[in-house]
Amino acid sequence: DVKVTQSSRYLVKRTGEKVFLECVQDMDHENMFWYRQDPGLGLRLIYFSYDVKMKEKGDIPEGYSVSREKKERFSLILESASTNQTSMYLCASTPGRGGSPLHFGNGTRLTVT
Amino acid sequence: AQSVTQLDSHVSVSEGTPVLLRCNYSSSYSPSLFWYVQHPNKGLQLLLKYTSAATLVKGINGFEAEFKKSETSFHLTKPSAHMSDAAEYFCVVSVSDYKLSFGAGTTVTVRA
């Protein structure tokens, strides 16, 4: 089975801190994604990457950046955390393109105080 | 633009009774559609996927969904609910080669 591992299950950070969320997948998938999940809003795409060092903005990229230096690892960076970034963050991966199902990690619940 | 609307934010059923989760989509072409399930404190898991091969799609754990183009619907059903079906369910449409659009989710509660 594909395993997508997010390094932290829970994080508490202070406003203004730089925050790193890490995600690793073990199935050599080309595509990796970062979503945030908020009640009543479903999942919203922050950024995705279809190859090493490649990145594309999703629907809500403001306040975030990403890094993909190796194929298996995709990092989400909150440059200066704010309270409105308190949320559940989900990483996912897929092989190839064209409607392949997403494989999700278990999520990181981030609280910014 | 492609999008999905889940018509119920919360559904409550008794164990052993049918479950119906409603989803309407909007798309300018024949889309790829998915249902995902999320159990508490877990990531999302694929239940089933429609890609135009057959209008009735069978998924895991006894779930199935029917694609109705005339109604632009992709409702999820299960004949007999089990306690383990208590979770949040998401209807999803493929927007492009890489992007998916998620519905707001339906929380299912199963009463003993």
A41 to chain B, any CB pair closer than 8 A? The answer is: yes
User: Each residue of B79-96: pLDDT tens digit?
Assistant: 999 999 999 999 998 877
User: Each residue of B20-76: pLDDT tens digit?
Assistant: 999 999 877 778 899 999 998 888 999 999 987 788 999 999 999 999 988 999 999
Q: Nearest Cβ partner of A31 from B41, B45, B98? A: B98
Q: How far is A109 from chain B (nearest CA, A)?
A: 10
Residue A1 predicted with pLDDT over 70: no
What is the DSSP secondary-structure string of chain A?
---EEES-SEEEE-TT--EEEEEEESS--SEEEEEEEETTTEEEEEEEESSTT--EE-S--TTEEEEEEETTEEEEEESS--GGG-EEEEEEEESSSSSPPPEE---EEEEE-
Task: Provide the pLDDT for residue A38.
Answer: 93
Residue A100 predicted with pLDDT over 80: no
Parent domain of A104: 4-112
CATH number for the domain including A60?
2.60.40.10
Residue B101 predicted with pLDDT over 90: no
Considering only alpha carbons, which residue of chain B is nearest residue A2? B45
Per the listing, tokens 């090493």 go with A52
Alpha-carbon B22 to chain mean position: 7
Task: Provide the pLDDT for residue B87.
Answer: 97
Q: How far apart are CA B3 and CA A13, in angstroms?
A: 34
For chain B, how many structural domains are there in total? 1
Answer whether B44's CB lies under 8 Å from B36's CB: yes
Parent domain of B94: 3-111
For chain A, how many structural domains are there in total? 1
The model's confidence at residue A98, banded by pLDDT at 50, 70 and 90, is: low
Taking residue A24's Cβ as centre, other Cβ atoms within 10 Å add up to 18
A28 to chain B, any CB pair closer than 8 A? The answer is: no
Q: How far is A10 from chain B (nearest CA, A)?
A: 11
User: Each residue of A80-89: pLDDT tens digit?
Assistant: 999 999 999 9
Average confidence (pLDDT) over A25-30:
92
A3 to chain B, any CB pair closer than 8 A? The answer is: no
Are the beta carbons of B105 and A105 separated by less than 8 Å?
no
Task: Provide the pLDDT for residue B99.
Answer: 80
Task: Provide the pLDDT for residue B53.
Answer: 73
